[in-house]
A and B are shown apart, each in its own frame.
Chain A
Amino acid sequence: MSTFESVVVEAAWPLVTGLSALLAALILFVVARRARGNLKSVCNEETRTLCHELIGGLITATIEYPDALVQLRKRPAAQVRAALKAILTTDKNLPPARAAVLKAVCEDLGLVAQWRRTLADTRNSGRKVNPFSFVLRAEAAENLGIIHHQPSWPLLVEALDDPNGAVRFAAARSLASIREPESFTALADRLEAAAQDSTPTISVRSLKMALASFPISQAVALRRLLEHSHPRVRFLASDVVALMVQRESSESHSSGCDSSRLAPQLADIFLTRLAEDEDSDVRARAASIVARLEPARAMPVLAALLGDPAWFVRLHAVRALRHQRFAPLSLASQRLTDPNWRVREAAAQTLVAGGRSGLQKLFEHFLETCDRYSQEQVIEEVERAGLLLPILAAYGEPGRKLETHFVEEMVARGFGDVLLPVLQNVPPEKLRALARELTHTPNAHVELFVRQWGGPAPVEQTWPVNESQPVESATAEVS
């Protein structure tokens, strides 16, 4: 027996015994835990369901508050907490009225005081904090936000400096739920710090998310940041204002001008300073806000932004035109010949979103331009918007000369294959009219189209459109 072998054997047997014992212990532990869990859940199910029903009844106002509170106090505290926790975890988006009832229940049962104590735990200097207690602090911060506990906002602002990131994030979210005006400044200060720090303590995205939840009237507190010397601070502040405007617009289902919602001094900053900012990111963000301001002042600024040297400023500006009801559509159609395809795409989308007059501009542009890239973009957008069939259905009708001409020119310029899949759904008389018209303007593209269309049962071909030909663009550019 070699020394190596004897050492191995001496070490191996105790190891085998230890590992076997560990294995047995693990199995016993998990089986016992499952059995205990099952037993416990059966025992507690009834109480928890009752508590859940009571709290649910309170929230929906189907049970009298004092009676329910007395009943809840009679139940084991752990079960009441468990039921509340289940409600807080699943129903995070309670309407204000119901959140108010939940808030009252939590206050009366002493939970709010407990959460506040937990959240303030890190402030007790000299005492060692349990490294895993952040879970409880984050939970406390989250719960205070769910019940919209207004008086807790200073505590939540302090929690933005908590040693743990999860607590800071939860505190930011809760401040966004509570929407206390004074806390907005605190969040803005954190955004300013985070923008200038390469390794911020709280993520810029979470701060943006929190700030964007506040009403647009609060945006005036961002003035200092909008005039900041650091371009990234100005950019993020502009972004927050843009998100606030976007959210409010979507909530009120309006896409038009929102100049009344933005403070005049902020509007001035966007129109006079940020739209001409040295940083192109800031100018791009400013475009989306400028488009929602008073047309008389906004239009010249927006027109300048549409001609910006940076392509993404033009992209944002042309997209922003959708929010300006009074913007001349020619501004968007001019961008259809932009050197950057993303701007061309956005311009076409803006025109399609502009309704009938926007489409007319799009067709007119197609008929006038010789730019192949631009023509392709128009065709793509018309097709993507599902407009080919309505256009073909209106072919030859009085008052639809533009559409008729557009269809004919599509074929004449070699885009006829795009029409093939929808031809089967077009009334036969329209198709005959189209065929007649095409015979007057023969060229290679028209001949190809007629061959494809008039071949053996071409109308039945529904897919794929181009099995033999690649759908490749003339625009093989790399952005």
Chain B
Amino acid sequence: MHNLIPGVLALVHNVVNAYFVVLAAYFIAGNGVYTLLMFLSIASVWLHKRSRAYEGLHLLRQSPATPPVTVIIPACDEEKVIVDSVRSVLKTDYPGLQVCVVDDGSSDTTLHRLIDAFNLAPTALISRPRLPSRRVRSFFVSAEYPNLLVISKDNGGKPDALNAGLNMCRTPYFCTLDSDCILERDALLRLMWPVIHSPEPIAVSGGIVRVLDGCDVKDGQVVKVDVPHGALQRFQVVEYLRSFLFGRTAWDLLGGTVIVSGAFALFHRETVLEAGGFLSDTVTEDMELVVRLRRWAADQGRILRTNFTSNPVCWAYCPHNHRMLERQRRRWQLGLCQTLWKHRRMIFNSRFGTLGLVSLPFQVMVEALGAAVELLGYVAILLLACCDPSRLWFLVPVVLVGLASAGVLSVSAVVLEEMTHRRYRSTRSLAILLFYALVENLGYRQLTLWYRFQGVVRFLAGRHHWEKVEHLVAERPLASRLERVA
């Protein structure tokens, strides 16, 4: 027995040491790629910013050659935000704009509010589904807004609602928009710009999603941009900047786009229909569709590009408490794992170019497995520090390197924002963002890691559950048309 304990301790020691090698490799690979992405995105975002001087949106606005677009807004129990969101879309500056709101069997007053706000009347349109979706209950149109169509259907989830909207879409392009989003006036024109400009066919064009919390919204438009009041939301502002300005911009430059946020993205309708529309077998239907489209195009021998631009802006509410954040991150991670597993044939497959050889392997190693690797790293460090305090001389610099490099990436995102788009005009906002970028890795990152780890566990357990995130929005008085009539 006495001989056994040192043996076990030696084994643990060796295992922990070996794990540190894995952790070091993960750290170097992950941070190396992120640093590379950072440099690429700095150039890309700067060029996008400069392109404002020659973007020529006025020609897009006037030309009969600009393809019409339908904005599809799936909504389920979104009574607090839906009217502002639809109003902002209707105010969007785009020629030939159609808006289709799909009420996915809401149990609250979402439909009432829409009827009330837009003076909707029921109509019996013919439904000719090309994609499967749950039963359509009724259609509503507005004499005041002839380009607005509201579909009321049985609850079937977001992909199902998007398919129902897509079945009624007649324009060559459609834009998916979350029901809690506010679009900037020229956002759609900017989203369409690369589609017109690109010599290759673009099937997906994504824009940037920014945090709406803290901003002032008037009449469906963001009139004042400010940082939110809550610490959790402020951390997310930094996170969104890093994710959209860094990750997606740089991956787009490399041709390895995996994620285009379905909260605000433009799709080529016929391509999506041919590829089978939105599927419900993952909890992140947007990511799954983007990867599936690339796979489908390669299988068909077709050239197809995805595009991400940091100019078109959509403002969206972010989770306001830990419970909602936990749900969101768990779902994102679960969806990532499901998508990667579903399309595992593409990983390290040269047929898919940068996507197969670089982007998807990176998503597997760093984004999907990274959560578990990093979290176990923290556990190992704590274990080692507790078991053998004399090793602190080794652990302290290791932890500091990790924190400092992550801090550099977060602060760089804020710097990039300041150098290019500069939406947060006040010095106070800048100071707040810099502070939160600095301290993001002291607690918040570990928290989100834990949520992401839960997502990985759920994936391994085979769970498939869509977790709804509720937003903290001031309640507006309901005055439905029916009440007015009464």
Contacts and interface: CB of A to CB of B under 8 A. Distances in A.
Interface of A: 1-2, 4-5, 8-9, 12-13, 15-16, 19-20, 22-23, 26-27, 29-31, 33-34, 38, 85, 88-89, 92-93, 132, 135, 138-139, 141-142, 145, 165-166, 169-170, 173, 176-177, 194, 198-206, 208-209, 212-213, 243, 246-247, 250, 341, 376-377, 379-380, 383-384, 386, 417-418, 421, 462-467, 470-473, 475-479
A19 B404 contact: yes
A479 B128 CA distance: 8
24 contacts: A2-B17, A16-B400, A16-B401, A19-B401, A27-B411, A34-B430, A85-B53, A138-B54, A142-B53, A142-B54, A194-B199, A203-B198, A205-B195, A247-B63, A341-B126, A380-B124, A383-B124, A386-B143, A462-B122, A462-B485, A466-B124, A472-B135, A473-B126, A478-B128
Contacts of A89: 52-53
A203 B196 contact: yes
B136 A472 contact: yes
Contacts of A13: 397
Given A206-B197, A463-B138, A30 B418 contact: yes
A472 B401 CA distance: 62
A464 B137 contact: yes
Contacts of B63: 209, 212-213, 243, 247
A234 B53 CA distance: 35
A471 B415 contact: no
A8 B398 contact: yes
A93 B56 CA distance: 10
B53 to A, nearest CB: 5
A384 B125 contact: yes
Given A141-B54, A165-B199, A379-B124, A30 B397 contact: no
A463 B122 contact: yes
Q: Which 3 A-B pairs have the closest CB atoms?
A: A12-B397, A19-B404, A142-B54
Given A5-B394, A30-B414, A33-B418, A16 B195 contact: no
Contacts of A205: 65, 195-197
A169 B197 contact: yes
A318 to B, nearest CB: 15
B276 to A, nearest CB: 13
A199 B199 CA distance: 7
B400 to A, nearest CB: 5
B401 A15 contact: yes
Contact of A471 (B50, B137, B200, B391): B137
Contacts of A471: 124-125, 127, 136-139
B197 A466 contact: no
Given A139-B53, A173-B56, A466-B137, A250 B64 contact: yes
A391 B444 CA distance: 64
Given A19-B404, A169-B197, A170-B54, A30 B430 contact: yes
A12 B128 contact: no
Contact of B199 (A141, A203, A341, A380): A203
A22 B394 CA distance: 23
B125 A464 contact: no
A176 B64 contact: no
A261 to B, nearest CB: 15
A3 to B, nearest CB: 11
Contact of A4 (B17, B52, B120, B130): B17
A135 B196 contact: no
B407 interface: yes
Given A12-B397, A15-B405, A205-B197, 17 more contacts: A4-B17, A12-B400, A15-B401, A23-B438, A135-B50, A176-B59, A202-B199, A203-B199, A204-B199, A213-B59, A341-B126, A384-B141, A386-B143, A417-B124, A470-B135, A470-B137, A473-B128
B412 A26 contact: yes
Nearest to B397: A12
A248 to B, nearest CB: 10
A467 B138 contact: yes
Contact of A135 (B47, B138, B152): B47
Contact of A19 (B130, B408, B482): B408
Q: Chain B, interface size: which category?
A: 35 or more
A93 B58 contact: yes
Contacts of A465: 122-124, 138
A458 to B, nearest CB: 14
B99 interface: no
Interface in B373-426: 391, 393-394, 397-398, 400-401, 404-405, 407-408, 411-412, 414-415, 418-419
A380 B419 CA distance: 53
Contacts of B125: 380, 383-384, 471
A1 B197 CA distance: 60
Given A341-B128, A384-B123, A470-B136, A138 B199 contact: no
B103 to A, nearest CB: 10
A22 B408 CA distance: 7
B3 interface: no
A5 B126 CA distance: 71
B459 to A, nearest CB: 32
A187 to B, nearest CB: 13
Given A19-B407, A421-B121, A209 B126 contact: no
A277 to B, nearest CB: 21
A462 B53 CA distance: 51
B337 interface: no
A141 B55 CA distance: 11
Contacts of A377: 126
B9 interface: no
A9 B401 CA distance: 10
Nearest to B65: A209
Contacts of B111: 464
B107 interface: no
Contact of B408 (A23, A85, A176): A23
